[in-house]
């Protein structure tokens, strides 16, 4: 129920989502860092970073902490981004990277 003079807000729930790897890919490009260089700098196999970027690997606690160490973007941000993406996919949202209409 809204107070007099206030508008009722309706939450925005898009039918699309963006996976964390898209942000990671874009962040690395912006900084001029290759996935292999990032992996080497944080002690992870290159396949881990490329897996996050291409969506075949989820960001877990270890990966989130390593990304924080390398990029300065908090581990909680990465974990929350992954959790939100997973929830969006579970409710039926389309990954924008897999949807030709979003290109």
pLDDT digits (tens, 9 = 90+) for 16-67: 788 999 999 999 999 999 999 999 999 999 999 999 999 999 999 999 999 9
CB 23 within 8 A of CB 81: yes
Q: Please tell me the predicted confidence (pLDDT) of residue 83.
A: 96
Q: Please tell me the predicted confidence (pLDDT) of residue 6.
A: 74
pTM across the whole model = 0.79
CB 96 within 8 A of CB 89: no
Q: Please tell me the predicted confidence (pLDDT) of residue 102.
A: 47
Q: Please tell me the predicted confidence (pLDDT) of residue 2.
A: 62
17-90 topology per CATH: 434 Repressor (Amino-terminal Domain) (1.10.260)
Q: Please tell me the predicted confidence (pLDDT) of residue 1.
A: 57
Q: Locate the domains of the chain by residue range.
A: 17-90
């Amino acid at each position: 129920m809204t107070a007099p003079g206030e508008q009722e807000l309706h939450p925005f729930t898009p039918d699309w989502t963006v996976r964390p790897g898209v942000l990671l890919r874009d962040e690395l490009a912006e900084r001029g860092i290759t996935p292999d260089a990032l992996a080497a700098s944080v002690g992870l196999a290159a396949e881990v970073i490329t897996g996050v970027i291409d969506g075949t690997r989820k960001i877990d606690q270890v990966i989130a902490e390593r990304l924080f160490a390398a990029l300065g973007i908090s581990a909680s941000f990465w974990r929350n981004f992954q959790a939100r993406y997973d929830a969006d996919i579970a409710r039926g949202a389309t990954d924008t990277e897999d949807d030709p209409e979003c290109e």
